[in-house]
Amino acid sequence: MDFLQPTSWSEALDLRAERPDALPIAGGTDVMVELNFDRRRPGALLDLGRVPELSEWEADDGVVRLGAGVPYARVIDQLGAQLPGLAMAARTVGSPQIRMRGTVGGNLGSASPAGDAHPPLLAAGAVVEVASAARGSRDIPAADFYTGVKRNALEPDELIAAVRVPAATGPQQFSKIGTRNAMVIAVSAFACALHPDRRAVGTGIGSAAPTPRRAADAEAFLAGELQSAGLWESRAELPETLARAFGERVAAAASPIDDVRGSAAYRRHSLSVMARRAVTWAWSDLREAA
């Protein structure tokens, strides 16, 4: 197995194109597990750890451009205010060691339905920025990025450069169910974001469908109800019935399975509870901010 270590983004893209048999590695917290179990034996590892462009983030014009190689620990420390949903999700990932190594780019690369970064990226309306040596860069909205169980929209010669996430304009929440209180893969997860500037609601569901997905119907429903009840202006309390109806719509958007981590019925049920609670917290944060 060759070990390729580009030191610049353009070199990385060239190597990616030249070596279709190479497997990119960032923090390695998914890749090394795969290698150890002999589930993959790539011809080469393409180490992205020395590509400086990937390990930076910058905020510009209300959008945070988060380099694919920024680890969760930095998201938690540095981006809690701008990307609160993603930071909350990052806090639930693995253990301190995993959060030091693991990256959002790696989570996107693996595209596991249980990946914790996905729901908040969906809720925030993030865009994944990918690039190839041949065709330059292109943008893929997060909602189009996940194409199947552990599959994403990357072409074989492409790498993930960054994810561009609109900085929060309102409260965000992330909730994750696991059968222990830390270091656990999600049985189900939910993220929501309130966008008072555009009077919209964002959602993301994890571990309850073949891919992470939005609950588009629930988003439109809640935004519409808030609008028609004049709640965006009044910032009055969120009616419990509305929160509950939102939760039910979120649960309806899932297509969960029974597996060793939990039953489909529990996944659906837990989504409705998490969504109801999360939107209630988000709304009360919005009222407090007003």
Ligand X SMILES: Cc1cc2nc3c(=O)[nH]c(=O)nc-3n(C[C@H](O)[C@H](O)[C@H](O)COP(=O)(O)OP(=O)(O)OC[C@H]3O[C@@H](n4cnc5c(N)ncnc54)[C@H](O)[C@@H]3O)c2cc1C
* Contact status: 263 vs another protein (CB under 8 A): yes
Q: Coil, strand, or helix at residue 184?
A: coil
Piece in contact with another protein (CB under 8 A), picked from 150-158, 201-209, 231-239, 257-265: 257-265
Query: Who contacts 36 (Cβ-Cβ below 8 Å, separation ≥6)?
Result: none
Task: Confirm if 222 and 263 have CB atoms less than 8 A apart.
Answer: no
The runs of H, that is alpha helices, within the chain are 9-18, 31-36, 72-78, 84-91, 96-101, 104-110, 118-124, 142-145, 216-228, 231-234, 240-253, 264-289
94 binds, among ligand X, another protein, none (CB under 5 to 8 A by kind): ligand X
Distances (CA, A) of 30 to 194, 267, 284: 32, 24, 37
List the beta bridge partners of residue 172: 193
Give the nearer residue to another protein in terms of CB position, either 145 or 174. Answer: 174
Which stretch in 63-71, 175-183, 219-227, 235-243 sits in contact with another protein by CB under 8 A? 175-183
Exposure on the CB side of residue 287, measured as CA atoms within 13 A: 12
Interacting partner of 177 out of another protein, ligand X, none (Cβ under 5 to 8 A depending on kind): another protein
* 3-class SS of residue 177: strand
> Counting contacts by CB under 8 A, is residue 207 touching another protein?
no
If the CB atoms of residues 101 and 213 are measured against ligand X, the closer one turns out to be: 101
Q: Which is nearer to ligand X, 107 or 188 (CB)?
A: 107
88 vs 226, which CB is nearer to another protein? 88
Tokens of 228: 């028609």
Query: Nearest distance from residue 205's CB to ligand X, in Å?
Result: 14
Q: How many CB atoms lie within 10 A of CB 116?
A: 28
Residue closer to ligand X (CB basis): 51 or 226: 51
Q: Which does 281 bind (CB under 5 to 8 A by kind): another protein, ligand X, none?
A: another protein
Binding segment toward another protein, per CB under 8 A, in 11-19, 34-42, 141-149, 235-243: 34-42
Contact 16, 161 (CB under 8 A): no
Stretch that binds another protein, among 42-50, 183-191, 199-207, 231-239 (CB under 8 A): 183-191
Neighbouring CB atoms inside 10 A of 164's CB total 19
Contacting positions for ligand X (CB under 6 A): 23-31, 33, 48, 68, 92-94, 98, 101-103, 105-107, 109-110, 115-116, 159-160, 185
User: For residues 58 and 217, which CB has a smaller minimum distance to ligand X in the complex?
Assistant: 58
Site size for another protein (CB under 8 A): 33
Angstrom distance (rounded) from CA 118 to CA 23: 21
Q: How many CB atoms lie within 10 A of CB 7?
A: 10
Q: Which is nearer to another protein, 265 or 289 (CB)?
A: 265
Instruction: Provide the binding-site residues for another protein, judged by CB under 8 A.
Output: 36-38, 88, 91-92, 173-185, 187, 260-263, 265-266, 268-270, 273-274, 277, 281
